[in-house]
Amino acid sequence: MSKVLLKVSGVSKSFGHVQALKDVNFELNEGEVLGLVGDNGAGKSTFIKILSGVHRKDKGEIIFDGDTVDFSSPSESIEAGFETVYQDLALAPDLPIYSNMFLGREMLRKGILGKLGFVDKDGMRKSVEKNIKKLKATLNHVDQEVGTLSGGQRQSVAITRAVIWGKKVIIMDEPTAALGVEESAKVLEIVKELKQHGITVIFISHTMPHVLEVSDKICVLRLGFTVANLNAAETTYEEVVEYITGARSQIEG
Amino acid sequence: MSDIKEFSPAKRRMYMLLSEYWIVLVFLLIYGIFIILEPLCFSLPFLSSTLNYMTEILILGVGVMFVVITAGIDLSIGPVEGAVGVGAALTMRSLVPVVGVPLAITAGVIVGILMGMVIGLLNGLIVTKMKLAPFIATLGMSVILTGSGYIFNNGLEVVGLPKVLARLGNMQFFGFIGTTTIVAWTVWLIFGIILKHTRFGVITYAYGSNPESTARAGINVDRHLIKVFMISSTLAALSGVLLIFRFNTGSPIAGANVTLYAIASCIIGGTSVLGGRGKMIGTLIGAAIISILVTGLVMLGVQTYWQQVATGLIIIFSVYADQLRQRNAFM
Ligand SMILES: Nc1ncnc2c1ncn2[C@@H]1O[C@H](COP(=O)(O)OP(=O)(O)OP(=O)(O)O)[C@@H](O)[C@H]1O
Ligand SMILES: [Mg+2]
């Protein structure tokens, strides 16, 4: 029924002497949610940065939408349809909320001014206000500088930005890390809603109940290896934790 | 709903206004003191000479401000003036007999501006491709340029340029606004609009605020940074060309002292050396403060070295005040 959107096989990556990724594998269908889990330093962020064009893989193959891809820059990944909420959020603290949301794809004025690169600040403000309302994000004023926001609010900005622009795949690297109970629940709702709109999500978190709640599939990384690919409906909290800690493994050695 | 510290709106606005524009008060204070000490400071000729003096610092300041906003620095702007001054003047002088005065002048101006663009391109490439810190890259470039300025004409000023240059360069409009003043303020206005209202400006602030985030937003940050360095050098070149018009010579020592004043003008005006912040109006006021210190002290008959002492104090004082302001804003 649904087609394979993303197939990752044998991906590895090292930084000098540190081999962050050794062998990452999984397969994901369109509109599915993948929970990507693993202990600190397992390689989750490194892996998604390969998908988002920040890092280049050393070996392995990534097939996206039927094509082999190897993004050499974030813009290639974005163009292909990936949006990423980075663990460090990747915001510009001196810029207002609305500028951050439109960073790199500023709305331009109509006519000759637009051709000269004049930005349409009011247009951007209105659009961001609308989306903040739609996503029920706890952000008061679109002109507020991101550097003055609370940690959770900053996370909201990054998530909202990804959702606004998300075309095919949205990657969220620990999107609920700085969020309270209520806000976390909102993010989980957003993930479910994205899924309903046919958007594929890669969801990284250390909070297993969250992962189990939203994921269709779970990929467990340990020391740079994929040690398990699980069907979320058929696994349990305990089983996932055993894979994460190394008490169990689907691979040899 | 919110966890930002709330001031009452009126108090907040007052505080904002004051923290944004206190530097204007500093200017008025300095000017006021000069007027009290020497009433002749309150006159059109004084204003005119201050405006005139200010043009060089202002043009350089506007250009280097773009670099400072990216959290970089361009130490080569003064030496660009010198090298371009000699290069453009030599071009003019050698072409006058061949193509006549108007074309020779035009060619000199074009050569000067092109020199600025190429120097900026080189600075940008050294920073983005060789990955040297802007401080090192432009320090090296400034030494190279200073040497080149001397080599071009054996260390001598280029004299014997067409007299029409000085006539064009020293025209007065409305009795007190000089040609170079008009050019400088136009540059200030245009680049102020670019900084505030265009995509280029937004990306400049974003880069200074967080270069990695800006790159991850899909922006080609290397190319942007190169353009920023080109703005700085090209405006320095323009300033070098204007000096030829003003003094009718091309001097290799032009720009020997102005680099730091230009940088100081943005910093006094509130541009953060940490990047990401700064307003064009601030740079204008910063340049005005530095300039009026010179012309005012000259008027009082005080040694102009005192102006350097005063400028230094104002740099330290203004950045300190700005830090206090930032600390408050982020609490
Ligand atoms: N740019 C880099 N240079 C050198 N080593 C790196 C770099 N990025 C990541 N690493 C290393 O790669 C390994 C995997 O890091 P990564 O950030 O991918 O882990 P993670 O699974 O996201 O962990 P966490 O849950 O703590 O976010 C770590 O050992 C880390 O030190
Ligand atoms: Mg991580």
Q: What is the 3-state secondary structure (H, E, C) of B33-52?
A: HHHHHCHHHCCHHHHHHHHH
Predicted TM-score of the model (pTM): 0.94
Tell me the nearest-neighbour CA distance from A75 into chain B, angstroms. Answer: 4
Evaluate whether residue B19 is within a structural domain.
Answer: no
Tell me the nearest-neighbour CA distance from A170 into chain B, angstroms. Answer: 14
Please choose, from the candidates B31, B26, B28, B82, the residue with its C-alpha nearest in 3D space to the C-alpha of residue B56: B82
CB of A204 shorter than 6 A to ligand 1 = no
- Nearest-CA residue of chain A relative to B200? A117
What is the CATH number assigned to the segment(s) A4-81+167-245? 3.40.50.300
Domain, as residue range, for B158: 43-319
Q: What is the pLDDT of residue B4?
A: 44
Q: Are strands A18-29 and A4-15 parallel, antiparallel or unpaired?
A: antiparallel
Of A86, A95, A150, the CB nearest to B209: A95
Look at A105 and B4 and tell me if their CB atoms are within 8 Å: no
| Chain A residues 56-115 within an 8 A CB cutoff of chain B | 73-75, 77-79, 84, 86, 89-95, 99, 103-106, 108
| Chain A residues 154-183 within an 8 A CB cutoff of chain B | none
Evaluate whether residue B97 is within a structural domain.
Answer: yes
User: What is the percentage of chain A residues whose pLDDT exceeds 90?
Assistant: 93
Considering its fold, how many domains does chain B have in total?
A: 1
Q: Identify the contact set of chain B against chain A, taking CB-CB distances under 8 A.
A: 1-4, 197-200, 202-203, 205-206, 208-210, 212-220, 275-277, 329-330
Asked whether the predicted pLDDT for residue B255 surpasses 90, the reply is no
Q: What is the pLDDT of residue A132?
A: 94
The secondary structure of chain A as a DSSP string is -PPEEEEEEEEEEEETTEEEEEEEEEEEETT-EEEEEESTTSSHHHHHHHHTTSS--SEEEEEETTEE---SSHHHHHHHTEEEE-TT----TTSBHHHHHTTTSPPBPSHHHHHTTBB-HHHHHHHHHHHHHHTT-----TTSBGGGS-HHHHHHHHHHHHHHH-SSEEEEESTTTT--HHHHHHHHHHHHHHHHTT-EEEEE-S-HHHHHHH-SEEEEEETTEEEEEEEGGG--HHHHHHHHHTS--SS--
Of A74, A144, A148, the CB nearest to B330: A148
User: How high does pLDDT run on average in chain A?
Assistant: 95
pLDDT one-digit tens code per residue, B143-184: 999 999 899 888 899 999 999 999 999 999 988 899 999 999
Asked whether the predicted pLDDT for residue B16 surpasses 70, the reply is no
User: How high does pLDDT run on average in chain B?
Assistant: 92
Tell me the nearest-neighbour CA distance from A95 into chain B, angstroms. Answer: 7
Asked whether the predicted pLDDT for residue B325 surpasses 90, the reply is no
pLDDT one-digit tens code per residue, B205-232: 999 999 999 999 999 999 999 999 999 9
Evaluate whether residue B22 is within a structural domain.
Answer: no
Asked whether the predicted pLDDT for residue B313 surpasses 70, the reply is yes
Q: Whose CA is nearest to atom 9 of ligand 1?
A: A46
Evaluate whether residue B326 is within a structural domain.
Answer: no
Output the six-digit token pair for A52. Answer: 């988002």
The secondary structure of A43-62 as a DSSP string is SHHHHHHHHTTSS--SEEEE
Evaluate whether residue B23 is within a structural domain.
Answer: no
Tell me the nearest-neighbour CA distance from B317 into chain A, angstroms. Answer: 23
ipTM of the complex: 0.94
Least confident of A170-184, B98-112, B286-300, B304-318: B304-318
Asked whether the predicted pLDDT for residue B273 surpasses 70, the reply is yes
pLDDT category at B7 given cuts 50, 70, 90 is: low
Gap from CA of A6 to ligand 1 centroid (Å): 23
Residue B175: CATH number of its domain = 1.10.3470
pLDDT in tens, chain A (253 residues): 578 999 999 999 999 999 999 999 999 999 999 999 999 999 999 999 999 999 999 999 999 999 999 999 999 999 999 999 999 999 999 999 999 999 999 999 999 999 999 999 999 999 999 999 999 888 989 999 999 999 999 999 999 999 999 999 999 999 999 899 999 999 999 999 999 999 999 999 999 999 999 999 999 999 999 999 999 999 999 999 999 999 988 887 5
Evaluate whether residue B329 is within a structural domain.
Answer: no
Least confident of A148-162, B19-33, B163-177, B285-299: B19-33
- B35 close to A175: Cβ distance less than 8 angstroms: no
Evaluate whether residue B29 is within a structural domain.
Answer: no
Tell me the domain boundaries of chain A.
4-81+167-245
Asked whether the predicted pLDDT for residue B14 surpasses 80, the reply is no
Look at A92 and B210 and tell me if their CB atoms are within 8 Å: yes
Question: Which residue type is seen at A106?
Answer: E
Q: What is the pLDDT of residue B331?
A: 40
User: How large is the average pLDDT for residues B281-300?
Assistant: 94
Question: Which residue type is seen at A201?
Answer: V
Site to probe by mutation for ligand 1, drawn from A11, A13, A14, A15 as the one with most ligand atoms within 8 Å of Cβ, is A15
Evaluate whether residue B30 is within a structural domain.
Answer: no
